[in-house]
Amino acid sequence: GAVVSQHPSWVICKSGTSVKIECRSLDFQATTMFWYRQFPKQSLMLMATSNEGSKATYEQGVEKDKFLINHASLTLSTLTVTSAHPEDSSFYICSARSGVDTQYFGPGTRLTVL
Amino acid sequence: DQQVKQNSPSLSVQEGRISILNCDYTNSMFDYFLWYKKYPAEGPTFLISISSIKDKNEDGRFTVFLNKSAKHLSLHIVPSQPGDSAVYFCAATSMDSNYQLIWGAGTKLIIKP
């Protein structure tokens, strides 16, 4: 079945640094990828939708200059958390859409900002 | 190698009856399981979870059952309502994987009036 991977699986960084998270669809091409943020035992909050070759569409309240999304190819999207602060510590999950309805989720990246 | 499997891509249930969604897993190290519900164009919504030390967890119309020996969990919704029509994902995680979520492929539940 389709697999979506994320790298790194966890990262610890100092406040003020930038962190890049990669999301890859391993055996299918994903024209659309989604980035979510999850707080412990809560629902996933959609941050942005990224389409290959075009600018990402951000949900209301998500700072596009802070969370930079690049969907450079049909199998790779990256999320860069710029100038990270402790409140950005969270679990970031990507998903990739294959076809009209099918969406596959990545395992998530745990970000801890000290 | 899919560690979490939802073998039914879709399920159709009459309104008012019980919906049973199934999920199988292969990794015996999983110690926490979650169910999410997803409407089109929205992010998944957390529904209910269960720790591996329990075999049942109930929250209103939703009950999750865990059978560790069979590596199987199920979500029961009773009575089923039209608003329950959505895609349901099960996910599993474990402390030794830093609680990364391993997702099933989802089951589309359709509640017929």
pLDDT in tens, B55-110: 999 999 999 999 999 999 999 999 999 999 999 999 998 877 666 778 888 899 99
Say how far apart CA B89 and CA B75 lie, in whole Å: 10
> Residue A30's pLDDT is what?
87
Query: Is B88 part of the contact surface with chain A (CB cutoff 8 Å)?
Result: no
B81: distance to nearest CA of chain A, Å?
21
pLDDT band at A2 (very low <50, low <70, confident <90, very high): low
A39, pLDDT greater than 60: yes
- Cis peptide before B79, with omega less than 30 degrees from 0? yes
Q: Tell me if A1 and B101 make a contact (CB, 8 A cut-off).
A: no
Separation in Å, CA of B90 to nearest CA in chain A: 11
pLDDT band at A114 (very low <50, low <70, confident <90, very high): very high
More confident residue, B1 or B90: B90
Q: Is B76 on the interface with A (CB under 8 A)?
A: no
Q: CB-based contacts of B34: which residues, under 8 Å, 6+ apart?
A: B46, B47, B48, B49, B90, B91, B92, B93, B101
A28, pLDDT greater than 60: yes
Average pLDDT, chain A: 88
At A43 the pLDDT is: 65
CB B36 to CB A43 under 8 A? Answer: yes
Residues B19-55: pLDDT tens digits? 999 999 999 999 889 899 988 766 777 899 899 999 9
Confidence of residue A81 (pLDDT cuts 50, 70, 90): very high
Separation CA B107–CA B47 (nearest Å): 14
**Residue B36: closest C-alpha in chain A:** A43
Name the residue in chain B with its Cα closest to that of A101: B40
Classify B69 as helix, strand or coil.
coil
In one letter, which amino acid is B10?
Answer: S
- Residue B96, classed as helix, strand or coil, is helix
Cα separation, B11 vs B22, whole angstroms? 10
- Taking CB atoms and an 8 Å cutoff, what residues of chain A touch B87? 101
Distances (CA, A) of A6 to A54, A77, A91, A94: 21, 10, 12, 8
- Per the CB < 8 Å rule, is B43 touching A107? no
Amino acid in position B4: V
- Distances B95 to A19, B23, B30, B99 between C-alpha atoms, Å: 23, 20, 8, 5
Instruction: Out of A10, A43, A107, name the one closest to residue B102 (CB).
Output: A107
Backbone angles phi, psi at B81, to 5 degrees: -125, 155
Q: What is the pLDDT of residue B102?
A: 82
Q: Which residues, other chains included, contact B28 with Cβ-Cβ below 8 Å and sequence gap of 6+?
A: B71
How many A/B residue pairs have CB atoms within 8 Å? 52
Residues comprising chain A, all counted: 114
Contact assignment for A46 to B36 by CB distance below 8 Å: no
The whole-number average pLDDT for the span A64-73 is 92
